Amino acid sequence: MTLRVAFLAMVVAALSSAELPGQTSGVALADDDACLACHGEPELLRARVAGAEEAARLHVRAAPLRGSTHGEMRCVECHDDYQGFPHPDAAEPMGCGTSTCHDADPHPEWSESVHALVQDSTGLAAATCTDCHGLHDVESVEALRLEASAAMVELNGRCASCHSEQDHPDDPHAGTTLCSGCHAPHTMEVPGSPESAVAPVRQLETCGACHEEVADSVRHDVHRRALVDAPRERLLAWPAPATDSLAPTCSDCHGAPPMAGPNVALSGEALSGGPRPGLARDEGIDPGAAFRMFMVERCATCHVDDADTYYGTYHGKATRLASGVSASCSDCHSAHAVLPADSARSTLHADNLVGTCGACHEAARPAFVRYDSHPDPMDPERNAALYWSFIFMNTILAGTLLVFGLHTALWWIRIWLDGRSPGPPAERGAPSSGRPDPASPSDSGGAGG
Amino acid sequence: MDSAQRGRGPFVWRFLLWHRLAHGLAILTFYTLVLTGLPLRYACAPFSAELIALFGGVPRAGLIHRIAGGVMVAYTLVYVGWLMGRIVRDRVNWKRWLWGPDSLVPHPKDAVDFARMWRYFVGRGKKPRFGRYSYLEKLDFFGEVWGFVIIGGSGVLLWFPELFGQYLPGWWFNVATVLHGYEALLATCFIFIVHFFNVHVRPDKWPLDAVMFHGRGTVDYLEEEHPDMMHHVEENLDEPVARSPRVDHPAPAPTRIATVLSAVLGFVALAVGFVIIGMILWAVTFC
């Protein structure tokens, strides 16, 4: 090996010092072996260029290249500015799309993508062909599309090298779904663009491709209907309107990656944007319960009053304290088929209510389900008995505390005033004992003189 | 430190063992109920999640709450049974029991005393002479009776919603929730503010009155707090200290251990009570 390196070094030295008339571009390199004579030898590169990093960058492994879908191609077919030696100082970076090969293929789509937009507008390095497809170990399209393959994990890892926050081992899609399965490859629209595969209007289609049952039940959901019925100009508005002005879709509840669901323990933090005080100890609670618990906060972003009245009930209070068993929004309203109570399909319809409550309260009967899950004790129209109980209890609470608060305060002041007044302690007017008053601290409570 | 031991002796029994045990059980159950119930009522307060986690989460805290409630119902029923037994079997003079000067039942004199207290507060009269039980003690007792009926009734209803939901419309549970929560808040505030002030931290008594813990007080103490019952005490003062404690009869001075234990129990209870009042104020401000 050492001998071979020494030999090659001599060859390179000879080549670079050669001054052949009429050949300004140096020696022509015809085949890959000539390229690999240098670029295939890390030790040689280290000896020739400054810095180990630069040497590593210039190093090319022959085996992955030969095994890639470009295995039959010659180096100079891509590196067309490097046909001679010595190489030019500053060559144009080669482009896959501008070359003759992928001319009409994905390039026009990529140039409209968010990656191209970021690169053009900020000059920051965003993902180009090689960042996803690999530099020399370019995968075939067929290999990339194999689900749960090593290639898929590798490919997702390439997205995650920039989008590291989205790469979470607990995400239910981790290891099973390609990033590009939801975020259409190449087109990859700007987030919020209505043309994006994950735009609110298109999520049912994109997520529903795998989650067929959910997609099926959600078709009747009021949220879905509201989204479909929303004026088109609002859906296509750019920049995208704030989420609270539109009905929620998949990602509004399940989040963007890392995504949360009833089986995902990370839901709490992912949905609330951080751990909540006091809940750190509740790691033991069932992930489904955690998900539903934080879901109340999500629903509450729009349904403010309903969340308020819910939090006034045992269900709401226990859920707030991570009960894990107490009903939250989706337990009664369902998760994906939310419908008004007058709809026959609704979980809240009079005919279905016993079954809905009965999911937890097994012995629920028609009388039982007249419980008000969103009570408003201030509203006599809604329930007069509740209203008057509320008024009565507040009256005796306020009345008792007022009278006896005053009683306490005045007594305090009286004792204090008596303690300050000069002269002997007040006579008790109690002839029963006939004892002289002993001078003791307990005397100061006597009547003032 | 203990106002029941102030001034001149001798000591006289005021409360017997069963009084003190009942009061001890009341403290134990009441504090447990408040500490497990408060975080649910103020689930939005910053301390609630921590407090409920201290009890091992909502289901566990709920179980502890129900056990404490069950114990409270049990000793109340035992007390009522004892009372019935006294009336029916022992044929106590129930007229005297109801209307006698030593009665715990509210009398017209209590209304008069209450009015006179306000005159005394504003410096226009003497402090009324209280009997064995002043209107404040009667209020403590019947406040608990009232609270027991309201909180206990609604609590049992909420404990078995499916059972009662077979017959009662579900909105009864909405009403029960309001009754339970507000009456509990009233009881907590009354005990930890009014009762604590009247009995313990009143400037002329503070910091503690442990008569309910060790059961006895000096003649001076009784004269100060209950002058109108002293004739019962005077009659027995010349008797020797009896072996078994009898109310209004001479008692041995509390032992050092009894004094220390009473003080520790009393101060811990006072401190926790005031912390709970602070938590309620915090919760009311926060929620």
- pLDDT value at position A271? 44
Q: Tell me the percentage of chain A whose pLDDT exceeds 90.
A: 22
In whole angstroms, what is the distance from residue A441 CA to residue B205 CA? 8
For residue B103, the domain's CATH number is 1.20.950.20
| Chain A (419-448) residues lying within 8 Å, Cβ to Cβ, of chain B | 419, 426, 428-430, 432-433, 435, 438, 440-448
Question: pTM for this structure?
Answer: 0.79
* Tens of pLDDT, residues A389-408: 999 999 999 999 999 999 99
* Tens of pLDDT, residues A247-267: 788 888 887 777 777 665 444
Comparing A226-230, A287-291, B15-19, the range with the smallest average pLDDT is A287-291
End-to-end CA distance of chain A: 115
For residue A390, CA distances in Å to A263, A316, B148, B180 come to 40, 19, 18, 11
Residue B258 placed within a domain? no
State whether residue A360 sits within 8 Å of chain B by CB. no
Print the SS3 string covering chain B.
CEHHHCCCCCEEECCCHHHHHHHHHHHHHHHHHHHHHHHHHCCCCCCHHHHHHHCCCHHHHHHHHHHHHHHHHHHHHHHHHHHHHHHHCCCCCHHHHHHCCCCCCCCHHHHHHHHHHHHHHCCCCCCCCCCCCCHHHHHHHHHHHHHHHHHHHHHHHHHCHHHHCCCCCCHHHHHHHHHHHHHHHHHHHHHHHHHHHHHHHCCCCCCECCHHHHCEEEHHHHHHHCHHHHHHHHHHCCCCCCCCCCCCCEECCCCHHHHHHHHHHHHHHHHHHHHHHHHHHHHHHHC
Q: Is the pLDDT of residue A183 over 50?
A: yes
Q: Is the pLDDT of residue A242 over 60?
A: no
Cβ contact B39–A368 (<8 Å)? no
Q: Which two tokens stand for residue B80?
A: 């009522």
Residue B163 placed within a domain? yes
Name which of A376, A411, A443 to mutate to probe chain B: the one with the most chain B Cβ atoms within 10 A of its Cβ. A411
For residue A244, CA distances in Å to A196, A215, A328, A329 come to 19, 22, 20, 18
User: What phi, psi does B219 have (nearest 5°)?
Assistant: -60, -40
Cα torsion A449, B4, B5, B6 to 10°: value is: -10
Other Cβ atoms less than 10 A from the Cβ of B9: the count is: 15
- Helix B17-41 / helix B256-286 crossing angle, nearest 10 deg: 20
Provide the pLDDT confidence category of residue A205 given band limits of 50, 70 and 90: confident
- pLDDT value at position B279? 97
Of B169, B186, B224, the CB nearest to A370: B169
User: What phi, psi does A72 have (nearest 5°)?
Assistant: -85, -10
Cβ contact B43–A311 (<8 Å)? yes
Residue B140 placed within a domain? yes
Of B52, B158, B227, the CB nearest to A430: B227
Q: Which two tokens stand for residue B29?
A: 């159950």
- pLDDT value at position B105? 92
The DSSP bridge pattern shows strands B250-251 and B216-218 to be: unpaired
Best-predicted range by mean pLDDT among A91-105, A206-220, B210-224? B210-224
For residue A282, CA distances in Å to B49, B62, B208, B257 come to 9, 16, 39, 42
Cβ contact B7–A438 (<8 Å)? yes
| Chain A (163-192) residues lying within 8 Å, Cβ to Cβ, of chain B | none
Distance in Å, alpha carbon of B38 to nearest chain A alpha carbon:
11
Other Cβ atoms less than 10 A from the Cβ of B134: the count is: 21
Q: Report which DSSP code applies to A179.
A: H
Residue B83 placed within a domain? yes
* Tens of pLDDT, residues A123-177: 777 788 888 777 787 777 776 666 556 777 777 888 888 888 777 777 778 777 8
Q: Is the pLDDT of residue A274 over 60?
A: no
Q: For residue B220, which residues of chain A lie inside 8 Å, CB to CB?
A: 438, 440, 442
3-class secondary structure, A244:
helix
CA A42-A47-A53 angle, 5° bins:
60
Other Cβ atoms less than 10 A from the Cβ of B243: the count is: 6
Q: Is the pLDDT of residue A8 over 70?
A: no
- pLDDT value at position A191? 65
Q: Is the pLDDT of residue A89 over 90?
A: no
| Chain A (50-89) residues lying within 8 Å, Cβ to Cβ, of chain B | none
- Could you tell me which of B208, B184, B222 has the C-alpha nearest to residue B41? B184
H/E stretch holding A228 reads helix A222-229
Name which of B41, B63, B127 to mutate to probe chain A: the one with the most chain A Cβ atoms within 10 A of its Cβ. B127
H/E stretch holding A85 reads strand A84-85
Distance in Å, alpha carbon of A379 to nearest chain B alpha carbon:
13
Q: Alpha carbon A95 to chain centroid distance? A: 34
Distance in Å, alpha carbon of B70 to nearest chain A alpha carbon:
20
Cβ contact B41–A411 (<8 Å)? no
- Could you tell me which of B101, B13, B117, B33 has the C-alpha nearest to residue B73? B33
- pLDDT value at position A148? 53
- Could you tell me which of A368, A399, A393, A398 has the C-alpha nearest to residue A378? A393
> What's the structural domain count of chain B?
1
Q: Report which DSSP code applies to A337.
A: -
Cβ contact B194–A444 (<8 Å)? no
Residue B213 placed within a domain? no
In whole angstroms, what is the distance from residue A183 CA to residue A196 CA? 8
In whole angstroms, what is the distance from residue A223 CA to residue A201 CA? 11
Q: For residue A363, which residues of chain B lie inside 8 Å, CB to CB?
A: 162-163, 165-166
Chunked into runs of 10 residues, chain B (287 residues) has average pLDDT values of 86 93 95 97 90 90 97 94 85 80 90 96 93 94 94 96 93 97 97 94 90 94 92 89 88 94 96 97 90
Name which of B55, B135, B136, B175 to mutate to probe chain A: the one with the most chain A Cβ atoms within 10 A of its Cβ. B175
State whether residue A400 sits within 8 Å of chain B by CB. yes
Residue B211 placed within a domain? no
State whether residue A161 sits within 8 Å of chain B by CB. no
In whole angstroms, what is the distance from residue A53 CA to residue A51 CA? 5
For residue A186, CA distances in Å to A2, A149, A197, A208, A257 come to 46, 21, 12, 21, 19
Residue B230 placed within a domain? no
Residue B5 placed within a domain? no
3-class secondary structure, A277:
coil
Cβ contact B182–A394 (<8 Å)? yes
In whole angstroms, what is the distance from residue B161 CA to residue A164 CA? 49
Cβ contact B43–A276 (<8 Å)? no
Of A367, A415, A447, the CB nearest to B126: A447
- pLDDT value at position A425? 46
* Contact yes or no for A257/A171 (Cβ under 8 A): yes
Q: Which two tokens stand for residue A15?
A: 């080549």
Between chain A and chain B, the number of residue pairs with CB atoms below 8 A apart is 221
- pLDDT value at position A448? 32
Residue B55's domain spans which residues?
Answer: 21-203+270-286
Q: Residue A319 carries which side chain, given as an amino acid letter?
A: T
State whether residue A300 sits within 8 Å of chain B by CB. no
* Contact yes or no for B58/A279 (Cβ under 8 A): no
In whole angstroms, what is the distance from residue B280 CA to residue B174 CA? 22
